[in-house]
Each structure stands twice: as C-alpha cells, then as structure tokens.
Amino acid sequence: MAINRKKTAALGMFLALTAAQISAPVDATVRTSPWDSIQSWETGTVKRVVDGDTLIVTDDVTGVKSRIRLIGINTPETYSATDRVAHCGGWNAKTALEELAPVGIKVRLASLDPASAGKSKRPLRTVLAWDPISQEYNQDLAWAKAERGWGHWFTVANEAAMSSLYREVIKSAQQRKVGIWNPDLCGVNEQPDANILLRIN
C-alpha cells in the first residue's frame, strides 16, 4: 500500500514538534507578589495616632486595643526619650498620619507573620485604610507617608518582602526633596541621609 509522501512528511514534522515541546524545560518559577503571601488579615478601628508611624487600633473581633507599628517606614520621633525633644519633621509626620487615618476610620491590618512585633512588642503591620468612595481598603498608609517624604525605609527580617514595596517610593521622595528630604525644612545641618534601618527580631 503506497503512502502519500506529503502526509508522511507532515506527520513527521508534527511528531518532531510534539517531542520538542515535551522535552523543553518548563520554567517552574512563579512570579508572586508579597501580597500573595499574607498570613494574617485583621480589621479594626483607629482610636488614636501616637506618632508618624504608630496607631492605636481596636480589633473588630476581640475588642482589644493594640499599638500598631507601620511596616516599611520609620518616621522622625515626636518625642525622644534620650534628648527629650521632637526630631525635625516629627510633628509633620504625625499630622500627615492623622489626616490619612483619622480617629474612627476602619483599617485592615496585614502581615506575612502574625507574630511580627517591634520594640515594646508592638505588632508590625501593613495598614490599609477604608475608602468610603470605593468601598475598599485601598489606602496603604506607609506608602502614602513614604510618597510624601515623611520617613526612612524600615524593615525587619520576617516582613522584608512587604517592606521592599516602599524602597523605591522613599527613594523617589528623596529625589523630589519632599517631606524630611526638603533641605529647607530643618536646615542643611539636620538634613537626614537615606540610611536603611534594619531590625533583626
């Protein structure tokens, strides 16, 4: 029985392509966002703004009040235990947070590790404020503070992936000379540098 040469050639090409596809290495790397690795989601209500990077939040489920430390940004102090004076930009940073997260606003707290905590055992969280217009928790407080130039980059080892989201924003603020990066805010002698604060728990 004669076999059509064109059909034979086509079949051979199909088999060759199939074999190539099967033998081709598969890239097993899956690109993910830090948001995909969130292990803890909590909701609460802002009761007070302590300073530029700390809030007191009442948990919606337990009713417990906690001092929540923002992940990703370290703002100037409003009161220093060592020299007992506010650092330059400290009150500006606090005012900015009060505007972004006024008392009574709902917030959502996210973390890669629910046990993440800073000094004085303050829970470290990414804090998203409720937007009544969009009806979503879509205002990242640390991002908004970083964008306005009110802090250095801050991270801890077990939340480093989330903290990395803010590095470029802070770098941009520094280049634009806004917030604490504005040399006219406190004078050239007190102009901060871009040092990174890394805390190992």
- pLDDT, one tens digit per residue, over 29-88 is 454 676 777 777 899 999 999 999 999 999 999 999 999 999 999 999 887 666 667 788
* pLDDT given at position 67: 96
Average pLDDT value for residue range 154-161: 82
CA–CA dist 146, 181 (Å, integer):
11
Task: Give the residue numbers spanning the domain of 178.
Answer: 35-199
CA–CA dist 134, 142 (Å, integer):
19
> Domain containing 156 — which CATH number?
2.40.50.90
The single-letter code of the amino acid at 112 is L
Residue 74 β-bridge partners: 152
Per the structure, the count of domains in the chain is: 1
Q: Does the residue 99 lie in any domain?
A: yes
pLDDT at residue 14 is higher than 50? no
* pLDDT given at position 78: 87
Mean pLDDT is lowest, of 55-64, 125-134, 141-150, 186-195, for 186-195
Residues 101, 55: contact at Cβ < 8 Å? yes
Tokens of residue 99, six digits:
């505007």
pLDDT band at 146 (very low <50, low <70, confident <90, very high): very high
Tokens of residue 55, six digits:
């809030």
Report pLDDT digits (tens) over 78-134. Answer: 876 666 677 889 999 999 999 999 999 999 999 988 888 877 788 999 999 999 999
Q: Does the residue 14 lie in any domain?
A: no
- Model confidence, pTM: 0.74
Q: Does the residue 182 lie in any domain?
A: yes
The label of the residue with tokens 């996210």 reads 110
Q: Does the residue 3 lie in any domain?
A: no
CA–CA dist 48, 51 (Å, integer):
9
The single-letter code of the amino acid at 81 is A
Q: Does the residue 179 lie in any domain?
A: yes
CA 115 to chain centre: 17
